[in-house]
Chains A and B, each alone.
Chain A
């Protein structure tokens, strides 16, 4: 009677089948395992199912006697959901970089003067600066020829003494002009070097962009090629 009670509730067929496929919940699986340890009948049932499933899995399928192929099937296309690939990403990055460099170049915001416009402007201002001194001299000559009278003579004497003092404290005008010219020349050479470097960078970026776009287009054409 006690033995009968112990095995009264055997594992159902569905649960044994689910146990074979490992489809039972963790708790229920533990209970089934515990029961199987003590119940020979359920264990035998399980072994029978495992043997059957093992044979079914080994059974070969029938091979088709003739192959069904549709001769006029539309041009097949390989399923390749690309479009966004590394080439696109790289091309976009290079394009953005190139746009930034070109924009900065046109605005003259690059170090070394950048654009041709910026260099021309600076050259123009240098000329203005170098011609500023003769213009002042001309103006002084003009005032000298136009004006007359003693107060003017006194003023001339006063300005002369001031000029003499200035001449004593400052280097001569020719030397100052020569020094500013050499400095300007050196500066211009330096700017030109930097300018060439930026131009080279722009060229390299443009070439890289063209290459990457070419790769991207080639990938599109390849992905749309029909399969044989």
Chain B
């Protein structure tokens, strides 16, 4: 499929490359894994149909903006069930395998991986205590490594709003982590 500039792209390669990012953002916005998967799938279909409108500048920001829009539509329609605990077992209709976690590199040991997974669980719980807007912003900038400008594009907000949401979200996360130090693996605790 071709974008607006005529450059050809491989659809399945794009989907494979950005699915994890898209699903994580959708999960942060919707708070439900199954809904996040649905939103991601619908967003990718929408991206496929409208790929001709992509200007070829920043693919990940463009794709994740579609995902964010789809999630907002679902939130408006009242489909989401926000802030479910990740510690609770899955419901009957969500009997998929246990969520696996991404590895940053193949050199990570099993122990390191387990520690990072523990950290990830605490971080996700902490993020769930934030408002949807702050959670999405903190997730995009600090977890996914987006710039302020990219986050602003994805979430449809201006830079000032992103800066404000990010500062407040970080401060809330700082308070949460200070209160839940015992949940963190020892090496991640603040000395």
Contact = CB atoms under 8 A, between A and B. Distances in A.
A212 interface: no
Given A55-B188, A56-B123, A60-B102, A67 B116 contact: no
Nearest to A13: B167
A59 B167 contact: no
Contacts, number: 137
Contacts of B10: 76-79, 227
B190 A51 contact: yes
B16 A63 contact: no
Interface stretch (B61-69, B72-80, B137-145): B137-145
B96 interface: yes
Interface residues of A, number: 38
Interface stretch (A15-23, A175-183, A188-196): A15-23
A56 B12 contact: no
A219 to B, nearest CB: 15
Main secondary structure of the interface of A (DSSP, over half): loop
A53 B138 CA distance: 9
A77 B174 contact: no
Interface of B: 1, 7-13, 15-16, 19-21, 23-24, 27, 33, 37, 40-41, 44, 48, 96-97, 99-104, 116-117, 119-120, 123-124, 138, 141-145, 148, 163-164, 166-168, 170-171, 173-174, 177-178, 184, 188, 190
Interface of A: 13-14, 16-18, 20-21, 23, 48-49, 51-53, 55-70, 73-74, 76-81, 227
